[in-house]
Copies of this chain bind each other. A is one copy, B any other.
Amino acid sequence: MVKSIPEMVPHIAFGGDYNPEQWDEEVWLEDAKLMQEAGVNLVSVAIFSWSMIERNEDQFDFSWLDRVISILHDHGIGISLATATASPPAWLSKKYPDILAVQPNGVPYQPGSRQHYSPNSKRFRNSVEKLVKKMAERYGNHPALKMWHVNNEYACHLAECYSDESLEAFRKWLRDKYETIDELNKSWGTAFWSQRYNEWDEIQFPVNLPTFYNPSQKLDYKRFMNDSIFDLYLLEKNILREMTPDIPIFTNFMYEFKPLNYFQWAKELDLVTWDSYPDPREGKPYRHAMHHDLMRSLKNGQPFYLMEQVTSHVNWRDINLTKGPGEMRLWSYSNVARGGDGVMYFQWRQGRAGAEKFHGAMVPHSNNPESRTYQEVKQLGNELKKLDDLVGATTDAEVAIIFEWENWWAVEHEGKPHNKLSYLDQVYQYYKVLFEQNIAVDFVHPEQDVSKYKVVIAPMLYLMTDKTADNLQSYTSAGGNLIVTFFSGIADENDHIHLGGYPAPIRKLLGITVEEFAPMADEQSNMIISNGQEHRTTHWADIIQLEGAKAAAYFKDDWYHSKPAVTVNNFGKGRAFYIGTNPEEAYLNNFIHGLLEELKISSPMQVPNNVEVTERKTKDQSFIFILNHNRTEVTINLDKTYFNCLESKDVSETVTVPGTDLVILRSDIKS
């Protein structure tokens, strides 16, 4: 049976991507020594090594990789071994051009960067299968092997393919889903614009169209591509599971990443890992934090690994700002504070050639051991050794936000009342309010059991299945507090309207009908009045008719003035709130704050502004993280004596946290 991550790596994992094939062999030993010095205990190897391992079809050369792994193992460094399938070699596409993904204009992608394969190419899948088996055969029993890193950042550049083979696969996927063409016609609403199909092979991709696509077809295309790529992952995973049943398997996720339904994927991963590259220019810790929380939520709270971050600066933005002293360390701990058991980087040694040579690394171009970059890495690596007893600790949250990839796809399709709204921004908006009050938040799938949460928030849940509507209803009637925001409950899983007054499937739950939408132009706004206070609102106004609910706020201006903007409805033992507009942050702060207070949901510790506080717990111990995002120090009152983990000493009454710094306070949990 597969071993747990803490069994394989009983530490906070620390290390990074390691690409020794880019360097002469004499550097390898130097690397291993520097890694040891820096506290590295895990490196990712072979991610882009296909062309170095399989030099030509069926000609494998593992000798160099054997040596690399042996050196690492000798220095006590474990490996997260990639299956090397992320970037197919040039000989492969020359021999089998059908492995190439194809652009909407019919032109194939070419080798010369990476990820140019089509997930629907049978030939490509064959080649992957052969390589993965070879890797598992060769290294499956190596004592350095801690986990399998499958492929790399699936779909990061290429989430759509328009090859003939993909078209065949799309038609097959549709046939499997709908069984009859009549069912497809119904689900796609093809009576509109004379789009009816007689045969499966009349179906084309939703591209190269004179005007708006069929949104149901487009939604299915997104599902199909997600499934195609997922199936490619499963191909590797199943081989590895069979050949090395005890080794954990994962692939690395990305943030704000729309094409892949990570809730679906996470079920088939033993560990959630992700790659995080916040822009120092934004300097907004809440976004970074939300990504951590989402990743932790994908496998029900199981700790995750931050698999890639950068020490200093990336190279793929227009302007790539660098992290100042202390920032990399603080942001690394923000990850640990929210459930991260791994702190890894792209990459170990900064490249000298290629497209990413200006991407920062643990060892910079200067190769200077006194460089700020390497020194900060070394400090952090050695510091993390103090946190072994944190490994596996979890987070308790009383608030959940619903997040759903299919909704993301559907709600951002063209042809909506307001086409400049972003699903992610709507979610961020509610998350931010909670983050700034240091309230722990889980993200949940809309159809999952949410009964353990005191508050559930559903921002812009446009696509709503009947099952979700039932779930929300059960949750609320059992005593939950549900917050639903505008443009929710509009369409079903085929992106067809729920008829009979918006949002039809939860009208009773909310006690309202939305009769019309009144989107606002960029330059427009309105005010909402609540308890005598006025707040600005923008983008959207629902025209709400009360059918049992009470108004909690009204619009002030325009033809719909005096109509409800926010409502609350008692439903069973619980309450359902509806926010039918996009109010400014101050309103949401008041609104959420009032609710949290009433429900006695609070932060683990009271802290000044711009200080992040979280708590992780093991069976016996609590770890409170206090991260100071201010540039100046803050002092915090303590209710008891804690153990300051990084300073390895007790602290009581107050603790002072310098600017851009943190403390971790451990205490026993009384049972």
Chain A residues near B (Cβ < 8 Å): 19, 21-22, 48-52, 55-56, 84, 86-91, 94, 101, 103-116, 156-158, 188-199, 201-217, 281, 312-313, 315-322, 324-325, 350-358, 364-368, 371-373, 414-420, 494-497, 499-502, 513, 515-522, 543, 558-559
Q: How far is the CB of A83 from chain B (nearest CB, A)?
A: 12
Give the chain B neighbours of A89 by CB distance below 8 A.
194, 196
Q: How far is the CB of A493 from chain B (nearest CB, A)?
A: 12
CA distance A329 to B502 in the complex (A): 25
On whether the beta carbons of A499 and B22 are closer than 8 Å, the reply is no
Q: How far is the CB of A612 from chain B (nearest CB, A)?
A: 21
CA distance A467 to B502 in the complex (A): 60
Q: Given A112-B217, A113-B193, A157-B210, 14 other A-B contacts at CB below 8 A? A: A48-B192, A55-B198, A87-B193, A113-B213, A192-B353, A313-B417, A317-B419, A318-B420, A319-B417, A321-B518, A353-B494, A353-B495, A356-B415, A367-B500
On whether the beta carbons of B90 and A516 are closer than 8 Å, the reply is no
On whether the beta carbons of B211 and A366 are closer than 8 Å, the reply is no
On whether the beta carbons of A419 and B521 are closer than 8 Å, the reply is no
Contacts A105-B105, A319-B521 given; indicate if A113 touches B502 (C-beta within 8 A). Answer: no
Name the one of B115, B212, B355 contacting A214, with C-beta atoms under 8 angstroms. Answer: B355
On whether the beta carbons of B90 and A22 are closer than 8 Å, the reply is no
Contacts A114-B194, A192-B355 given; indicate if A501 touches B365 (C-beta within 8 A). Answer: yes
How many copies the complex holds: the figure is 3
On whether the beta carbons of B319 and A211 are closer than 8 Å, the reply is no
Contacts A319-B519, A515-B372 given; indicate if A325 touches B559 (C-beta within 8 A). Answer: yes
On whether the beta carbons of B352 and A88 are closer than 8 Å, the reply is no
CA distance A405 to B84 in the complex (A): 38
Which secondary structure characterizes the binding site on chain A? loop
CA distance A202 to B216 in the complex (A): 40
On whether the beta carbons of B520 and A418 are closer than 8 Å, the reply is no
On whether the beta carbons of A319 and B420 are closer than 8 Å, the reply is yes
On whether the beta carbons of B193 and A352 are closer than 8 Å, the reply is no
On whether the beta carbons of A500 and B420 are closer than 8 Å, the reply is no
On whether the beta carbons of A115 and B210 are closer than 8 Å, the reply is yes
Give the chain B neighbours of A312 by CB distance below 8 A.
516
Give the chain B neighbours of A518 by CB distance below 8 A.
321-322
CA distance A481 to B208 in the complex (A): 51
**Residue contacts A-B, CB under 8 angstroms, 5 given:** A19-B191, A52-B191, A90-B202, A112-B206, A313-B417
Q: How far is the CB of A435 from chain B (nearest CB, A)?
A: 24
On whether the beta carbons of B357 and A497 are closer than 8 Å, the reply is yes
Name the one of B372, B419, B496 contacting A352, with C-beta atoms under 8 angstroms. Answer: B496
Most buried by B among A94, A190, A211, A502: A211
On whether the beta carbons of B105 and A198 are closer than 8 Å, the reply is no
In the complex formed, the residue of B with least CB distance to A413 is B355
Name the one of B50, B111, B158, B215 contacting A204, with C-beta atoms under 8 angstroms. Answer: B111
Give the chain B neighbours of A320 by CB distance below 8 A.
416-419, 519
CA distance A205 to B107 in the complex (A): 13
On whether the beta carbons of B354 and A319 are closer than 8 Å, the reply is no
CA distance A199 to B56 in the complex (A): 10
On whether the beta carbons of B49 and A322 are closer than 8 Å, the reply is no
In the complex formed, the residue of B with least CB distance to A210 is B157
CA distance A203 to B94 in the complex (A): 9
Name the one of B103, B114, B197, B355 contacting A90, with C-beta atoms under 8 angstroms. Answer: B197
CA distance A354 to B115 in the complex (A): 33
On whether the beta carbons of A90 and B324 are closer than 8 Å, the reply is no
Name the one of B112, B213, B319, B372 contacting A522, with C-beta atoms under 8 angstroms. Answer: B319
CA distance A108 to B207 in the complex (A): 10
Most buried by B among A19, A113, A189: A113
Give the chain B neighbours of A521 by CB distance below 8 A.
281, 319, 321
CA distance A195 to B22 in the complex (A): 11
On whether the beta carbons of B192 and A356 are closer than 8 Å, the reply is yes
CA distance A301 to B171 in the complex (A): 53
CA distance A107 to B109 in the complex (A): 15
In the complex formed, the residue of B with least CB distance to A209 is B113
Give the chain B neighbours of A372 by CB distance below 8 A.
515-516, 543
Q: How far is the CB of A14 from chain B (nearest CB, A)?
A: 22
Contacts A116-B210, A365-B497 given; indicate if A192 touches B318 (C-beta within 8 A). Answer: no
Give the chain B neighbours of A415 by CB distance below 8 A.
315-316, 355-358
Most buried by B among A56, A195, A371, A500: A195
CA distance A114 to B108 in the complex (A): 27
Contacts A208-B110, A355-B415 given; indicate if A367 touches B193 (C-beta within 8 A). Answer: no
The 7 nearest A-B residue pairs measured at CB: A189-B353, A192-B354, A212-B355, A157-B210, A90-B202, A87-B194, A113-B209
